[in-house]
């Protein structure tokens, strides 16, 4: 069953641990991670090509003109985009590619790649999500309230996703996301070529037997 890779889009509530889940999926299961491009300034410690591909506004706009992104958006004054070439090359090689992206971007991906698998990461319940946001210790109540408001709004978008996976225990969550992606590859619709090969081969082989 040799075929193209699966495009996996991961979104989720702020504070749910998307970044850590994605990192583990790459480390443990060898997924290819798409690195976004941005025009915002690197923060201390951020590495070009690893955290983001840092671009000037002129470079970014040029890439937009040349269809270099499979989706892009502007937030406040900065551009963010998903480079097309890396994603398409990896899928062609048969590698599974992960994009960590927010809801609007995920919808644009699904329009262009109907076979993309959209996974929404969530917390066991709202109280736990709140506790995790508070636990960071870096945000004041105003920021937490804003994030919970956004989470509330995002519940309406959750039904556009193919799967919801709860991040309760990190390792379990990683295995659950991995299970979803494995299962996608076993869908019958993904294996029609295998079926026709099997049929042809069985037709030939059964005639070779001397009875």
Question: Exposed (0-12), middle (13-18) or buried (19+): which is 33, by Cβ within 10 Å?
Answer: middle
Report residue 78 as tokens. Answer: 């900065």
Map 72-137 to HEC letters: EEEECCEEEEEEHHHHHHHHHCCCCEEEECCHHHHHHHHHHCCCCEEEEEECCCHHHHHHHHHHCC
Residue 186 interacting with a second copy (CB under 8 A): yes
Site string for a second copy, 166-185 (x = CB under 8 A): x---------x-xxx-xxx-
Residue 195 interacting with a second copy (CB under 8 A): yes
Distance CA(127)–CA(175), nearest Å, equals 24
Residue 50 interacting with a second copy (CB under 8 A): no
Measured N-to-C along each axis, helices 141-154 and 126-135 cross at an angle, to the nearest 10 degrees, of 140
Report residue 164 as tokens. Answer: 């919801």
Chain centre distance of CA 198: 33
Residue 121 interacting with a second copy (CB under 8 A): no
Residue 137 interacting with a second copy (CB under 8 A): no
- For residue 195, the minimal CB distance to a second copy (Å) is 5
Residue 139 interacting with a second copy (CB under 8 A): no
Question: Residues 159, 169, 171, 193: which binds a second copy (CB under 8 A)?
Answer: 159
CB 112 within 8 A of CB 70: yes
Question: Residues 149, 169, 170, 171: which binds a second copy (CB under 8 A)?
Answer: 149
Quick one: which segment of 21-29, 75-83, 108-116, 124-132 binds a second copy (CB under 8 A)?
Answer: 124-132
Question: Residues 26, 47, 145, 170: which binds a second copy (CB under 8 A)?
Answer: 145
Strand partners, 97: 7, 32
Closer by beta carbon to a second copy, 47 or else 146: 146
Residue ranges in contact with a second copy by CB under 8 A = 1, 120, 122, 125-127, 129-130, 141-142, 144-145, 148-149, 151-152, 155-156, 158-159, 161-166, 176, 178-180, 182-184, 186-188, 191-192, 194-195, 197-199, 201-206, 209-211
């Amino acid at each position: 069953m040799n075929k193209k890779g699966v495009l996996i889009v991961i979104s989720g509530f702020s504070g749910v641990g998307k970044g850590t889940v994605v990192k583990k999926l790459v480390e443990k299961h060898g997924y290819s991670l798409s690195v976004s491009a941005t025009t915002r300034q690197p923060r201390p410690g951020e590495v070009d090509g690893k955290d983001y591909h840092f671009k000037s506004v002129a470079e970014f706009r040029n890439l937009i003109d040349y269809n270099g992104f499979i989706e892009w958006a502007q937030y406040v004054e900065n551009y963010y985009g998903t480079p097309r070439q890396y994603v398409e090359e990896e899928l062609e090689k048969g590698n599974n590619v992960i994009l960590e992206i927010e809801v609007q971007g995920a919808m644009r991906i699904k329009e262009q790649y109907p076979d993309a698998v959209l996974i929404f990461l969530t917390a066991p319940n709202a109280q736990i999500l709140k506790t995790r946001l508070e636990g960071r210790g870096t945000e004041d109540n105003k920021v937490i309230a804003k994030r919970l408001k956004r989470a509330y709004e995002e519940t309406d978008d959750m039904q556009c996703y193919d799967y919801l996976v709860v991040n309760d225990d990190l390792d379990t969550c990683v295995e659950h996301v991995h299970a979803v992606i494995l299962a996608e590859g076993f869908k019958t619709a993904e294996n029609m070529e295998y079926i026709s090969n099997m049929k042809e081969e069985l037709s030939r082989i059964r005639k070779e037997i001397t009875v």
